[in-house]
Each structure stands twice: as C-alpha cells, then as structure tokens.
Amino acid sequence: MKQWFMLTVVGTDRPGIVARITTRLFDNGGNLGEASMARLGGNFTIMLMVQYDGDTAALQRLLAPLSAELGLHFHIDEIEGRLHEHIVPDVRISVYGADRAGIVAQVTSALAAAGFNILDLESDVAGTERKPVYVMHIEGCATRGIEALTQAVADFARDGLDIRLTSIDTLMG
C-alpha cells in the first residue's frame, strides 16, 4: 500500500527545481497531494505531499541524485494524507509595521489566547535594509468570535503596528 510522506525541500533558488523534483517522483510511481512553495529570503522552499510505494529510506534514495546535483536538502516525514477535509477560515488578519523583534510571537500569542486558530500564514519583509517593514497575512478561525480578537490586538495599534481584522464571508453558490 502506498504511504503518504511530507517532503520538505530547502536550497538555493534556481529555475526548474519544482519540475525536476516532481518529474523524478512521477517517473518512479510517486503521486502528489497538496503543496506549498515559497521563495523565502532568496531560498527555495517547498512542502509537498507525496504518496509513494516504499519507506522513508527508499524515497530518500530516490531523491539523493537531485540533492547532490542541485544542492537541495530533503527532509521526509511519514504522514497521514488527509485530503478533502479543508477548514474554511472565517477571519483574515493583516499586520504591518516597522520591523522589530517579537512581532510574530506577540501578535500570534495574543490571538491564540483569544481563541484564534491559524490555518494559513504568510509574511514578508518589505521596505529597505535600513527601514525594513514587516508584513504578515494570516487566515484562520475565530473560535470565540472576531470581537475577542479585535480586543486582543488593540494594544499593538498603540505600538505602531497596523493590524486589520476582516471577517471572511465565504459565498457558496
């Protein structure tokens, strides 16, 4: 029986990495699930669900030539491949401000304490080297309502962070 794995790949970005990895997997009977690729600080990163008829060591061996050739680091974990169970977020939170240590820790701690469950987070450092601007974008579920979250982050606004909470009204039609 085929097992699901989470394949995490990190390395120096260059054109064609996704094509090389996925072709190697496909040619050897691998099946892909959900994936998320991002270029973070100039580094190539991807997390990729792979269904493969073999164990972790076999998958590692299959990808080893690419690791050597492209200078990529592969990390593989056995996982449960639960597809078709997406949770729909009900709040979107945008945060931006002058970059300083602790923004993510403080904001996400306050949100977690107010019942927020993060489903998706993306952040970027914008601006310039001298004046970096931190931009974060979160989607998730407010288990205790959006008002609890609004109160939880009110103090950060006084600290010069811009935080905007928007309820997500998903239209079904």
Partner 1 sequence: MFDVITYPDPRLKQVATPVNVFDDALRAFVRDLEQTMRGGPPSVGIAAPQVGSTQRIAIVDVSSRPKTRSHGRLVLINPVITRRDGDVIGREGCLSLPDFTGNVMRAERIEVAAFDENGDRNTYVFEEFEARAVQHEIDHLDGLLFLDRLVSRRNDLFRRKVYK
Question: Which residues form the interface with partner 1 (CB under 8 A)?
Answer: 84-86, 88-89, 94, 96, 120, 122, 124, 135, 137, 139, 166, 168-173
Contact between residue 58 and residue 31 where contact means Cβ atoms under 8 Å apart: no
Q: Give the shortest CB-139-to-Zn ion separation in angstroms.
A: 21
Burial 126-136, CB ≥16 within 10 A → b, else e: eeeeeeeebbb
169 binds, among partner 1, Zn ion, none (CB under 5 to 8 A by kind): partner 1
Q: In whole angstroms, give the CA distance from residue 50 to residue 2.
A: 10
85 binds, among Zn ion, partner 1, none (CB under 5 to 8 A by kind): partner 1
Q: Give the shortest CB-85-to-Zn ion separation in angstroms.
A: 21
35: which residues sit within 8 A by CB, 6+ positions away? 46, 47, 48, 49
**Euclidean distance between the first and the last CA atom of the chain, given in angstroms as a whole number:** 38
- Identify which range of 17-25, 66-74, 146-154, 165-173 contacts Zn ion by CB under 5 A: 165-173
101 binds, among partner 1, Zn ion, none (CB under 5 to 8 A by kind): none
Q: In whole angstroms, give the CA distance from residue 61 to residue 71.
A: 15
- In the bound state with partner 1, the residue whose beta carbon lies nearer, of 55 and 147, is 147
- In the bound state with Zn ion, the residue whose beta carbon lies nearer, of 128 and 170, is 170
Binding stretches for Zn ion (CB under 5 A) = 173
